Homo-oligomer: A and B are copies of this chain.
Amino acid sequence: MGGERALTRRLQDWFPAPKDARIAIGDDAAVCKNRGRDSVLCVDPVVEGEHFVRGEDLALVGRKVVNRNLSDIAAMGAVADYLLVSLVLPRDLHARDLDRLLRGLRAAAKAGGAFVVGGDVSSTSGPLVVTVTAIGHCEGRVLLRSGARVGDSIHVTGALGGSIAGKHLRFVPRLKEGAWLARSATPCTACMDISDGLLLDLWTMLQASGGLGAEIDARAVPIALAAHRLAKTDGKDALMRALSDGEDHELLFTVKKGRTLPMGGPLTARARKPIGRVVNEPGLWLIQDGRRQKVAPSGHEHDVAAV
């Protein structure tokens, strides 16, 4: 058994990028030349039993799979244009559930400014699998994971933790924020979406940026209400949830050392306030109650067999 990240590294070896690709496997989306212009391409499935449970409202499932892709588009600072939908439908799926699924897909596409232009339908005796591909383009720069540098401040677009209580189905992809961060005047140096947990995704960003480290100020990490609520029932610390729970789909981004973000735009005051900074020493360091302690890049990583 191995992790998704190990498999991603193997895929990079298996599928070397074409010469005209700015980025291929290993970021939130691929950025490829499309006859002289950059196209942004990504694909993400949701699988019954993995990303949602049987009995879930399929309108929310349709919303989730579209928004997972739009969140990847947002993380590149791009604009979504087109979506393709592949439906692998269990034979016992009810017509009203398929309607709910299509309704959720359509509403999320519309909210994200993208059109469903194609797809395919298959049957299965197994679980429902809905796979969406998003095709977009950049109007500003492309925001990569690999641009973080020592001294850059670290930011997130919203509160984290406890997404399992509902946000994992209902999150809103940060398209406006991503596109704004990609404008040439902003000092944003790196960006990705938080799908596997803050610490694990931050670690991924730091690795992509040349093996750097980060200090996180525990008091500055925005903790979602859901994380506090869950803490009361299961006893898991709300801060630890904010640091390591997956599927918040907020943007994690860095701002160039000594620079501040321009005023205006869609970012909240909280997103403008750093939660930490990039350091030269590899590793993740949590500053809490005046102490600086090393923490593991824990988070939610899909176990993938065969790696």
Contact = CB atoms under 8 A, between A and B. Distances in A.
A97 B305 CA distance: 11
- Decide if the interface of chain A is mainly helix, strand, loop or mixed: strand
B304 A118 contact: no
Contacts of A118: 24-25, 29-30, 41-43
A56 to B, nearest CB: 16
Interface of A: 4, 7-8, 10-11, 14-15, 17-18, 21, 24-25, 29-30, 32, 34-35, 37, 39, 41-45, 47-51, 81-82, 84-86, 88-95, 97-98, 102, 106, 109, 115-127, 129, 131, 133, 135, 137, 302-307
11 contacts: A7-B121, A11-B119, A15-B109, A15-B117, A17-B115, A18-B115, A24-B117, A39-B82, A92-B305, A94-B306, A123-B302
A80 to B, nearest CB: 12
A275 B21 CA distance: 44
Contacts of A127: 124-126
A140 to B, nearest CB: 15
B39 A135 contact: yes
B120 A45 contact: yes
A41 B84 contact: yes
Nearest to A131: B131
